[in-house]
Structure 1
Amino acid sequence: MRKWLVLTFIVALLALSACGNEEAAKKDSGNKDDEITVWAMGEEGKLLKQLTDKFEKDNKGLKVDVQAIPWDSAHDKLLTAVASGNGPDILQLGTTWVPEFAEAGALLDLTEYMEEHPEFAAENYFDGAAEIMQYDDQIVGIPWYVDTRVLYYRTDILEEAGYDKAPETWEELQDAAKKLADRGEGHYGIDIDQNDQIMPFIFAWQNGYEANLEESKLNFDTPEFLGAMEYYTSFFKEGSSQVEQGEDIIQAFANGKKPMFFSGPWMVNIINEQAPDIEGKWAPAVMPGNETNASSMGGATLSIFHNSENVENALKFLSYMNETETQLEWLDISNTLPSKLESWEDPILQDDPMYSVFGEQLKKAKAGLQTEQFERIAQELLSALERVNAGGADLEKEIEQFNKTAQDLLEE
């Protein structure tokens, strides 16, 4: 069943559950006044217990029950929780999920608590993260950690191509990619993951594109958006990027066949662990730009479930997770980046050459389209671009049809 049908079903169930299932939900969930239940996803769920011990010590009598949920089953579990009204006190959401679950009524509006908790004020976070906190006029989550895309490049191979530093503009990136692809058969200039739904939007933002969701205008028919898609597809058209998936990017990066690619902070440790032979021969860099050098704001938020009966203690836990000391400890535990601007003043982040690149890029990181239809819209765009890159379809016609489809999705 498509997600939009499921959400329609959820809204109906929510209305029914509000009529008489609150006590049953409380009993089934096992919620207690002295226990905070937290649903955290993937590795974060497994690691979070290392932070909860200190919280429990500082808050005698309070317990934190962390349930680690695999990412591949998290979405369905959350949908079930919304439908039944039987959820946790606190739940972790990926940034692209926030509008969907806010629209479904799953997230408590924190607006009335903001005066008591000035530490949650939007100005404490990167602009892109602060944007994700809000849905319509509600505050629906607190940024937990952040990530963003940057350019990874082989410093040694780029130097051989005439670049003693990373490309800084669209023109330089395109030129460097062409020169690197011309090294011979099987070599490419840059890897662009055609399954990465945020990359086309990053190029669009860099070219001056903006949506106007307040007036329900996606603006995919503008010169800024079309020009960005022309730039995106040019790498495949010119042979600078491989149309087929090809070999694993870490292997291709290590052997030099793909000396540039876009990715997030998690790649630092992966490269260090899987490609130790190229230590000192690669680096991350802020995005090459056109009108701007924008990138995307990713990461996760922590929200309070709409019918939690333990809101006061849940807010205590969110406040604890928001402390600079806690965020820096979480950085050490999980290698994920702090959401709070104050945390980035610490020498651990300021003085590290790789962390500092991400800190700089996060200042220009933008939230994805804040609509519950974002993932469907993004997938429609990837399909259109694939038809151009792999099938030779006409770009202008594909974008024209995509704009109509996306606009219809927005208006459902």
Structure 2
Amino acid sequence: MNRPARLRTRKTVRNTTVAAASIAAMVVIAACGGSDSGGVSADKKQTLTVWGMGAEGEKLADIAKTYEKSHPNITVKVTPVGWDVAHQKLVSAAAASKLPDIAQMGGSYMGEFSELGVLEPVDTKTFHEKDFFPASWKQGVVDDTAYGVPWYVDTRVVYYRTDLAKKAGITEAPKTWKDMKALATAYQKQAGTRWGLSIQPSGTDTVQSFYPFLYSAGGQIVSDDGKKAVVNSPEAVRALTEYGTYFSKGLAKKSVTPGYDVLKDFDSGSVPMFFSGPWQISSINQTHPNLKGKWGITTVPRDESATSMAGGSSLAISKDSDHKAAATDFVKYLTSAKGQTEFYKASGDLPARTSAWDSGELATDKNLQTFRTQVENSKTSPALAKWSEISSKVDDAIEQVTQGKASAKSALDKAQSEIESLLG
């Protein structure tokens, strides 16, 4: 979202499927025509319109000012858009042929908007796949065509209380599923914590909490080409069975309130271990300084592999933009090693361009290097127009298991059937 797309509430946003057939038809018709009209050359005086989502949109305006200093002929007008309204705003703008020149898009958006015909294919002579983490590049690819250039990347690792682990008699980070289960149990029995691990039990985007289990077991929701449902494979069933045991054994909460802040319970010791992204590092350091020296992070525990989810956002250029040349140049700046480093300093978002990690804090900080290792071992879902509907079926299956209403096999068999009907 994959923040997947990412909210500053730090949950990947699912784009609700609201584009009705009539709107889709309007968009496709509107997209046919204006895209090959030439447009304004990059050296002419002009204004670029850019929509940035969530906190990233707020930070982008400052980065744009730096760009404008070296490009005095270009004014960059950045409009921050909340992730809660981003999808509907993009759909409405696409239907009216009023998309901005550049839009930030989460991975879950790419399939839908490329299918609507409103995105310009990436100029692969300017932007090269080899310069970015493989999973981040793949998020912008639909049917072998790239429609978005990776801007920042996101993934999930394990945060855990090292002091409480030591109290429980464990001095090493969990490396396998068995290790993680043992640590969660020891936290409760030896360290006296209320819970052992925080993972999402139900609700929208529960699948994101499940991905590290699913991918590490070798499972997927659909095949790599997005044409076949595979969510009830033996690997996926094993993953959901393992996920469910944390709830059946009382190691994880069966319900959490909307907007739940795991850091409060992490601070108190009630929840000593959880999966999350890189933003939590600064959150812990800034809002829970008393935890200094009492916590650590590690890559996701291994089953067949140690594979996490890949999220983040890409930058897409509107097919109907009259400023494609300048837009391409601005995106090139934002996704250069220098631009990525600047944006990391401003936002804390991890660069999608690998060369940005070769110097400075990104190259030397131990925790950041853990995230780099995990990004290199992460997987993204195919960019499909109906992905929100597809993943919601997995959300439902997970809830059935965590609430003790169905076995992993029966829940995923049901999801398999429902997803097959969506794939047609």
Write the letter of the residue equivalent to 1:232.
Y
Structure 2, unmatched stretches of 5+, are 1-14
Name which of 382, 401, 410 aligns with 2:395. Answer: 382
Indicate whether 1:224 and 2:235 are aligned. Answer: yes
Indicate whether 1:234 and 2:239 are aligned. Answer: no
1:140-179 pair list within 5 angstroms:
140-179=147-186
SS at match of 1:165: coil
Could you say what the CA RMSD is over the residues aligned between the two structures, in angstroms? 2.2
The 1:248–1:86 alpha-carbon spacing in structure 2 relative to 1, beyond 3 Å, is: closer
Q: Using the TM superposition, give the Cα deviation of residue 182 of structure 1 relative to its aligned residue in structure 2, in angstroms.
A: 2.6
Q: Using the TM superposition, give the Cα deviation of residue 5 of structure 1 relative to its aligned residue in structure 2, in angstroms.
A: 5.6
Q: Using the TM superposition, give the Cα deviation of residue 353 of structure 1 relative to its aligned residue in structure 2, in angstroms.
A: 1.6
SS at match of 2:290: helix
1:307-322 pair list within 5 angstroms:
307-322=320-335
Structure 1, unmatched stretches of 5+, are 27-31
SS at match of 2:139: helix
Q: What per-residue deviation string (whole Å, max 9, x for no partner) do you get for residues 363-398 of structure 1?
A: 101112322222222222122221222243233221
Q: Which has the higher contact order (CA 8 A, sep 6+)?
A: 2
In the other structure, the counterpart of 2:12 is: none
Q: Using the TM superposition, give the Cα deviation of residue 149 of structure 1 relative to its aligned residue in structure 2, in angstroms.
A: 0.3
1:164-313 pair list within 5 angstroms:
164-183=171-190, 187-194=194-201, 195=203, 196-210=206-220, 211-214=222-225, 216-245=227-256, 248-313=261-326
2-structure distance, mates of 1:173, 1:254: 20
Question: Which range is displaced more, 333-342 or 394-403?
Answer: 394-403
SS at match of 1:36: strand
TM-score, length basis structure 1 = 0.91
2-structure distance, mates of 1:204, 1:18: 38
1-structure distance, mates of 2:321, 2:177: 48
Q: Using the TM superposition, give the Cα deviation of residue 81 of structure 1 relative to its aligned residue in structure 2, in angstroms.
A: 1.0
Q: Using the TM superposition, give the Cα deviation of residue 7 of structure 1 relative to its aligned residue in structure 2, in angstroms.
A: 4.5
SS at match of 2:19: helix
CA contact 1:33–1:310 (8 Å) conserved in 2: no
1-structure distance, mates of 2:67, 2:177: 47
Question: Which range is displaced more, 51-60 or 251-260?
Answer: 51-60
CA contact 2:52–2:104 (8 Å) conserved in 1: yes
Q: Using the TM superposition, give the Cα deviation of residue 183 of structure 1 relative to its aligned residue in structure 2, in angstroms.
A: 4.8
CA contact 1:198–1:378 (8 Å) conserved in 2: no
Write the letter of the residue equivalent to 1:13.
M
Write the letter of the residue equivalent to 2:262.
I
Name which of 80, 93, 99 aligns with 1:87. Answer: 99
Q: Using the TM superposition, give the Cα deviation of residue 259 of structure 1 relative to its aligned residue in structure 2, in angstroms.
A: 0.4
1:345-364 pair list within 5 angstroms:
345-364=358-377
The 1:198–1:295 alpha-carbon spacing in structure 2 relative to 1, beyond 3 Å, is: same
The 1:148–1:56 alpha-carbon spacing in structure 2 relative to 1, beyond 3 Å, is: same
Q: What per-residue deviation string (whole Å, max 9, x for no partner) do you get for residues 32-51 of structure 1?
A: 96111101011111111211
CA contact 1:169–1:288 (8 Å) conserved in 2: yes
2-structure distance, mates of 1:341, 1:21: 35
1-structure distance, mates of 2:58, 2:18: 32
